[in-house]
Amino acid sequence: MARFAIRRLFSMLAVCVAISILTFLLFAAIPNGNPATRLAGRLANAEEIHLIDLKYGFNKPLYIQYVKTMKNIFSGQAYSYSQGFNVLTEIKDGMPATLSLALGAGIIWLLTSIAVGTLAAIKAGRYTDRILTVLSMIGVSMPPFFLGAVLIYYLAYKAGIFPIGNFVPFSHSPWGWFTHLLMPWFTLSVLFIGFYSRILRSTILDTINEDYVRTARAKGLTERQVLFRHILRNSLIPIISLWGLDLASVIGGGAILTETVFNLHGVGQLAENAIQALDIITLMAIVMLAAFFVVLLSAVVDIFYAFLDPRIRLS
Amino acid sequence: MSFNAGPSTTELSVEIPDAVLAEAGEMPPGVGPYKLAWRRLRRNRVSLAFGGLFLLIVVLCLLAPVYSHDIAHTGPADENITGTVRVGGKTETIVNPATDIPIGPTWQSHYFFGADENGRDVAVRLLYGGRNSLEIGTVATVITMLIATLLGLIAGYFRGFVDGLISRSLDVVWAYPALLLGIALGTILAFGGIGPLKGDTLMVPAVVIGVVYIPYVAKPIRGQVLQLREREFVEAARQQGLSHVQIMLREILPNLASTIIVFIPLILANAILLEAGLSYLGAGVQPPNPSWGTMISAGIAQIPAAFSNVLVPGIMLVLTVLSINVFGDGLRDALDPRAKVRIAR
């Protein structure tokens, strides 16, 4: 077990290094033209461009730039080219909003999709199942920014039930935190509920035919016991691992659309602002950290699996 | 949800799709798998209806130039901030000079769905935006499917070092949240372009989206190839002295067809959603080229005024993606009721 965990962690480190190189190359090497030309603006002369080159080291070889950029990002010394703020501080400042959004929505979408998926599976082929299938389909077809805008217009502007947007820290006002996050939680959850409940439904329908389920029935357990102890417990494994990865990507700034439409000032919205300002270093840091987070969580999920199922760690 | 004893709980048993049950009695022996699938699909009315809806949307969007030229008499980028339009015998300003609020839906040939903040005809932009979305979605899907199938085939067939290299590379791309990777690539390329691609063309978001979804398709295809290569018919082909390329293309590829077919609508729907998301954030289709995402974004900026400018492109986007998804779901049930094709992390 320990050997498996160590091997998995090493491969995780390798993937992280590859991600950092790829991210750096994407932002530094592929764009046509020199980044200094971009920073200097349209009207800059050769001398100004040269000064910027010297200041940021754009004239150095790529591998030196890479090492320097990574050092800056991880030591908290990376500063936005266009706005001057400290990138790591900005990401930290965005974390409370992003974490609140991710964890709240994560719990909602996990619990709701388990209920919806189970209900659809035990009613497979009936009207309940059909209606839930249609709703799930609408869920996976719904762009968060559109759903968010509709909620903001009808529930906040028209009906005045919810506040229009923004994030209120929990320490500031727990009730304000809750009411400001209700619509974003719902918006972010809808897509995942549609997706997860479809997966759970098909997993349950597969599990129902397993031998151990027949055995459980044969030994006289009630349908309720069979469902909760035998079918659901096994069907939930893929859902939970998916949940870990999706949560990681949302925490890393993947909920950028929801954050932007509700103006939550989280990590995702920081990325959005970086796009508008063409603030390459901020965008680079966010994208890279998000990918790191997914890799880390997927390693955790794998190790957890191996802990549960010896077949995995021996293969 | 009632789990108590009763007739409803007996439902916890094998699920056999109605279509499969229905065809069991009447099917003559020796019907090919695709003919079978087509018969199943034909019975799935809901799926076919949504497929029809998608075709209708495609035709409408392709007719955008005709609508623009002959009915609305204005182009997708033609601004008309100071102009007026006659609605029901009254002359109204297209964009109210005092409040900057554009005119709402007139339900007539000029400004059918109203105007946007620059006095452009929303209906015209809607159709042109749809054309852009469909074009980007189609090109992205072709890119994803071609590269993913190729990578999956090679990795699964040769295994070993080649597989390790391809699989680890896919893992790296897969680790990026799809939207963030799209944004990163889109932002970079929208500025400078890459190689022959100019920055502000539709091909940039198409390529970006195509690349983002490659691992989601290549991984399951690789898994399937790993199983297929151990089958007897592949062994037989090897004994006959067929080359690796021949085995991959003639023996294995045809067996991947149903997976590939099922993935196409799935990727298309997600590509259109991602395009809208990227354009909404400014990392996709570049103005003045219309896109549903940028239209929604502009509409949101005007909330609470002119909310129809959010609703019209938004509903169109949802309908398009929903129609592809429902049709794709029916297609999957028809081709292989047990298939587990989905885009999952």
Helix (H, G, I), strand (E, B) or coil at B84: strand
Give A62 or A43, the one with higher predicted confidence.
A62
Q: What is the pLDDT of residue B199?
A: 63
The answer to whether A143 contacts B4, with C-beta atoms less than 8 Å apart, is no
The answer to whether B194 contacts A249, with C-beta atoms less than 8 Å apart, is no
Q: What is the pLDDT of residue A61?
A: 77
Considering the entire predicted model, what is its pTM?
0.86
For residues A161-185, give the mean pLDDT.
87
Distance CA A163, CA A168 (A): 11
Percent pLDDT > 90 in chain A is: 21
- Please, how many CA atoms are within 13 Å of residue B174, restricted to the half-sphere of its CB? 22
| Phi then psi dihedrals of residue B12, to 5 deg | -70, 65
Residue B5 tokens, joined: 């004893």
Distance CA B5, CA A119 (A): 16
Q: Which residue reads 């990026």 in tokens?
A: B176
Give the distance from residue A314's alpha carbon to the nearest chain B alpha carbon, in angstroms. Answer: 18
Give the distance from residue B284's alpha carbon to the nearest chain A alpha carbon, in angstroms. Answer: 11
The answer to whether B310 contacts A146, with C-beta atoms less than 8 Å apart, is yes
The answer to whether B280 contacts A143, with C-beta atoms less than 8 Å apart, is yes
Q: What is the pLDDT of residue B4?
A: 38
The answer to whether B187 contacts A278, with C-beta atoms less than 8 Å apart, is yes
Which residues fall within 8 angstroms of residue A302, CB to CB, at 6 or more apart?
A: A8, A312
Q: Where are the alpha helices (DSSP H) in B193-289?
A: 203-212, 214-228, 232-239, 244-246, 253-281
Q: Which residue reads 């992390």 in tokens?
A: B345
Distance CA B123, CA B113 (A): 5
Residues 122-151 of B with CB under 8 A from A: none
Distance CA B113, CA B130 (A): 15
Task: Tell me the mean pLDDT per 10 residues along chain B, length 345.
Answer: 37 50 58 82 87 95 86 77 73 74 76 78 90 94 96 93 90 87 80 64 86 92 91 92 92 90 93 93 86 92 86 95 92 72 56
Which residues fall within 8 angstroms of residue A131, CB to CB, at 6 or more apart?
A: none
Q: What is the pLDDT of residue B77?
A: 77
Q: Which of B171, B187, B345 sits opposite A242 (nearest CB)?
A: B345
Distance CA B75, CA B79 (A): 9
Distance CA A30, CA B186 (A): 12
DSSP, res B28? P
A-B Cβ pairs (cutoff 8 Å, strict): 183
| Chain A residues inside the 8 Å CB shell of B192 | 30-33
Nearest-Cα residue of chain A relative to residue B271: A141
Residue A278 tokens, joined: 């063409």
Q: Are A94 and A267 in contact (CB under 8 A)?
A: yes
Q: What is the pLDDT of residue B115?
A: 79
Q: What is the pLDDT of residue B48?
A: 92
For residues A207-213, give the mean pLDDT.
84
Nearest-Cα residue of chain B relative to residue A203: B340
Q: Residue B23: is it exposed, middle or buried by C-beta count within 10 angstroms (0-12/13-18/19+)?
A: middle
Distance CA B325, CA B59 (A): 18
Percent pLDDT > 70 in chain A is: 89
- Angle at CA of residue B94, ends B93 and B95, nearest 5°: 90
Give the distance from residue B191's alpha carbon to the nearest chain A alpha carbon, in angstroms. Answer: 8
Give the distance from residue A39's alpha carbon to the nearest chain B alpha carbon, in angstroms. Answer: 12
Distance CA A42, CA B177 (A): 33
The answer to whether B273 contacts A125, with C-beta atoms less than 8 Å apart, is no
Q: How many residues does chain B have?
A: 345
For residues A267-283, give the mean pLDDT.
83
Judge whether residue A36 has pLDDT over 70. Answer: no
Digit-coded pLDDT (tens) for A218-237 = 888 888 888 888 888 888 88
Give the distance from residue B246's alpha carbon to the nearest chain A alpha carbon, in angstroms. Answer: 31
Q: What is the pLDDT of residue B9?
A: 36
Give the distance from residue B185's alpha carbon to the nearest chain A alpha carbon, in angstroms. Answer: 7
B172 at interface of A, judged by CB pairs closer than 8 A: yes
Distance CA B317, CA B205 (A): 17
Give the distance from residue A292's alpha carbon to the nearest chain B alpha carbon, in angstroms. Answer: 8
Residues 184-213 of B with CB under 8 A from A: 184-185, 187-189, 191-194
| Phi then psi dihedrals of residue B212, to 5 deg | -60, -40
Distance CA B62, CA B72 (A): 15
Helix (H, G, I), strand (E, B) or coil at B241: coil
| Chain B residues inside the 8 Å CB shell of A30 | 188-189, 192, 194
> Nearest CA to B57 among B146, B131, B161?
B131
Distance CA B102, CA B84 (A): 11
Nearest-Cα residue of chain B relative to residue A271: B180
For residues A92-116, give the mean pLDDT.
93
> Nearest CA to B266 among B221, B312, B201, B311?
B221
Distance CA B74, CA B62 (A): 16
The answer to whether B175 contacts A19, with C-beta atoms less than 8 Å apart, is yes
- Residue by residue, DSSP assigns chain A as -HHHHHHHHHHHHHHHHHHHHHHHHHHHTSSSS-HHHHHH-TT--HHHHHHHHHHHTTTS-HHHHHHHHHHHHHTT--B-TTT--BHHHHHHHHHHHHHHHHHHHHHHHHHHHHHHHHHHHHTTTSHHHHHHHHHHHHHHT--HHHHHHHHIIIIIIIS--S--S----TTT-HHHHHHHHHHHHHHHHHHHHHHHHHHHHHHHHHHTTSHHHHHHHHTT--HHHIIIIIIIHHHHHHHHHHHHHHHHHIIIIITHHHHHHTT--SHHHHHHHHHHTT-HHHHHHHHHHHHHHHHHHHHHHHHHHHHH-HHHHH-
Q: Residue A86: is it exposed, middle or buried by C-beta count within 10 angstroms (0-12/13-18/19+)?
A: middle
| Chain B residues inside the 8 Å CB shell of A18 | 168, 172
| Chain A residues inside the 8 Å CB shell of B8 | 122-123
Residues 57-86 of B with CB under 8 A from A: none
